[in-house]
Amino acid sequence: SSREEKMSVFPQIYLKPEVTEYLKSVFLNKEVVAAVGQQEAESRFQKLLTCLSHPPSYTCVRASTHLASLDEIRHKLEEELKNQMCSLSAEEVSLQIVPHPQIPDVLLLPVNGPRPVKQLSSEVVVGAQCGSAVLRGAHVFAPGILASPKHMKVGDLISVFSDLEGKCTRGATSFQGSRVFVGNGVAEMDRSSIFCTDEPAKGIGVRMVEPLYQSPSFDGVLPHLAFLQNLPSVVVGHVLGPRPGERILDMCAAPGGKTCHIAALMGDQGEVVALDRIRNKIDRIHQNAQKLHLRCVKAYCFNSTQAVSSDPAQTIEGPPFPPESFDRVLLDAPCSGLGKRPNMANTWSLKEICSYSPLQRKLFHAAVQLLKRGGVLVYSTCTVTLAENEEQVAWALNAFPCLMLQPQEPHIGAEGMLGAGLTPEQLRLLQRFSPELSWDQTEMTSPLPCRAGRDTIGFFIAKFLKN
């Protein structure tokens, strides 16, 4: 269709063939095929592979409504971004910031793209992660640069390419492997200050002037009021529903996006305990909490599978904790991450993709023990497999008879996917963000708030009550 041509500028996400086969068997499982037919199931799977390599059509900002009203934040943001864009030509400045109709602390900004941009002969190659950030409005930071022309000088106009499979060596002068064009920019550093320094280079290396997908760059813009976060991640905080004064556990918290949201929803009253296994990621949680003026966050480096204390008289403040210590627990589990967008290539083996389920169950065990009776447990992932989502729910309901699925508020994603043996009522209680379901109906002309509920990263949320 013409929309396909307009929307799909990148090839489908590249996965190892064994991973593609596996995912196909998931999306074309017996229950799904029986319900929608072979052809529709196949079509959804192909759309999934296509939309994963493309960025969502809007940028989602979580507004610090614990510090100012949404309207104030929207006006300030408009001012800031207008200043930033004054260098662009008048017709390019069409700034539209829209509040989400169902989520009281979300502002949406449309992404303009894909735009027709001409490739130049001078080329910079960046890592895939950097390339994805550029597609979501970022400039190129020096550490992301892998290859640059031999004589690149400040002010040179260059095309930026993303290295899909991580094959480009740092410091190369050219690269012919698989890569995609993400736009044009102006070099802010010359080659020698990027590669020939004792310390790793810092700051913007290439300022994007003609990005393929254009959205305002949020680097340093109102850092205490505007936090970039994927829409489903913001939904998680609301579904957890923390209240002022409660004690909340965020078991896999770094870099703390959801932790800070939870603290903000509590008006910074109570306690949010944030754990993560990786030490240097704990600093990021502290930095984010400080940036957003939140004091009720306590972050610890800890393996959450060991977070339950066997000593019921445990009195120290930090982990491990006695059973039934928390009013609510968030398990935003480490996962295969296959829902992330844009993601043009994933070089993982099937074994790696399938390695998360046992860890998720261990974490789930600890989560259930640490939760008070009458408390709420939210389980979430940013992946699309059944094994890490609906099958984990089926397992949990069986392993912990005290758990009951709960309705979610807001519920803007689809329901759970068929194939894990859950009942229709159970599936309706689950929230699965499935961008493939509306990839070619999500007209760019349809109103932004409508698009925003569907054109998201792939994501999954389950909410339980412990009796």
Ligand X SMILES: C[S@@+](CC[C@H](N)C(=O)[O-])C[C@H]1O[C@@H](n2cnc3c(N)ncnc32)[C@H](O)[C@@H]1O
Residue with tokens 């589990």: 333
Residues that bind ligand X (CB under 6 A): 233, 252-258, 275-278, 281, 303-305, 332, 334
Q: What is the largest CA-CA distance in the chain?
A: 68
Least separation in angstroms between residue 149's CB and ligand X is 36
**Residue 455, annotated as binding a ligand:** no
Residue number, 332 or 388, with CB nearest to ligand X = 332
**Residue 268, annotated as binding a ligand:** no
Residue number, 274 or 422, with CB nearest to ligand X = 274
Who's near 127: CB < 8 A, 6+ residues apart? 144, 146, 162, 163, 166, 168
Residue number, 240 or 405, with CB nearest to ligand X = 240
Residue number, 46 or 303, with CB nearest to ligand X = 303
Whether the CB-CB separation of 165 and 177 falls below 8 Å is answered with: yes
Q: Which residue is nearest to ligand X (CB)?
A: 252
Strand 459-466 and strand 431-433: the pairing is antiparallel
Q: Which two tokens stand for residue 240?
A: 């957890």
Residue number, 99 or 255, with CB nearest to ligand X = 255
Least separation in angstroms between residue 285's CB and ligand X is 8
**Residue 163, annotated as binding a ligand:** no
Q: What is the DSSP string of 381-441?
A: ES---STTTHHHHHHHHHH-TTEEE---SS--SB-PPSSS---HHHHHH-EEE-GGGGTTT
Least separation in angstroms between residue 255's CB and ligand X is 5
- Residue 196 gets which letter from DSSP? S
**Residue 440, annotated as binding a ligand:** no
- Tell me the sheet residues that pair with 58: 110
- Tell me the sheet residues that pair with 227: 62
Question: Rounded to an integer, what distance in angstroms lies between the CA atom of residue 182 and that of residue 54?
Answer: 11
Residue number, 256 or 435, with CB nearest to ligand X = 256
Least separation in angstroms between residue 226's CB and ligand X is 16
Q: Which two tokens stand for residue 394?
A: 């089926």
- Residue 143 gets which letter from DSSP? G
Question: Which helix H or strand E contains 378, and what residues bound it?
Answer: strand 371-381
Residue number, 213 or 379, with CB nearest to ligand X = 379
Question: Rounded to an integer, what distance in angstroms lies between the CA atom of residue 380 and that of residue 462?
Answer: 6
How remote is the C-alpha of 413 from its chain's centroid?
15
Who's near 463: CB < 8 A, 6+ residues apart? 239, 240, 376, 377, 378, 405, 406, 407, 408, 429
Amino acid at 236: V
**Residue 258, annotated as binding a ligand:** yes
Least separation in angstroms between residue 321's CB and ligand X is 13
Catalytic residue selected from 51, 60, 335, 382? 382
Residue number, 161 or 321, with CB nearest to ligand X = 321
Q: Which two tokens stand for residue 43?
A: 């079509």
Least separation in angstroms between residue 3's CB and ligand X is 32
Question: Rounded to an integer, what distance in angstroms lies between the CA atom of residue 360 and that of residue 400?
Answer: 15
Least separation in angstroms between residue 360's CB and ligand X is 9
CA atoms within 13 A on the CB side of 418: 12
354 is catalytic: no
**Residue 254, annotated as binding a ligand:** yes
Amino acid at 75: H
**Residue 241, annotated as binding a ligand:** no
How remote is the C-alpha of 452 from its chain's centroid?
14
Helix pair 257-265, 279-291: axis angle to 10 deg: 40
**Residue 452, annotated as binding a ligand:** no
Least separation in angstroms between residue 253's CB and ligand X is 5
Residue ranges for the known binding site are: 252-258, 276, 311, 332
Binding site for S-adenosyl-L-methionine, by residue number, is 252-258, 276, 311, 332
- List the catalytic residues: 382
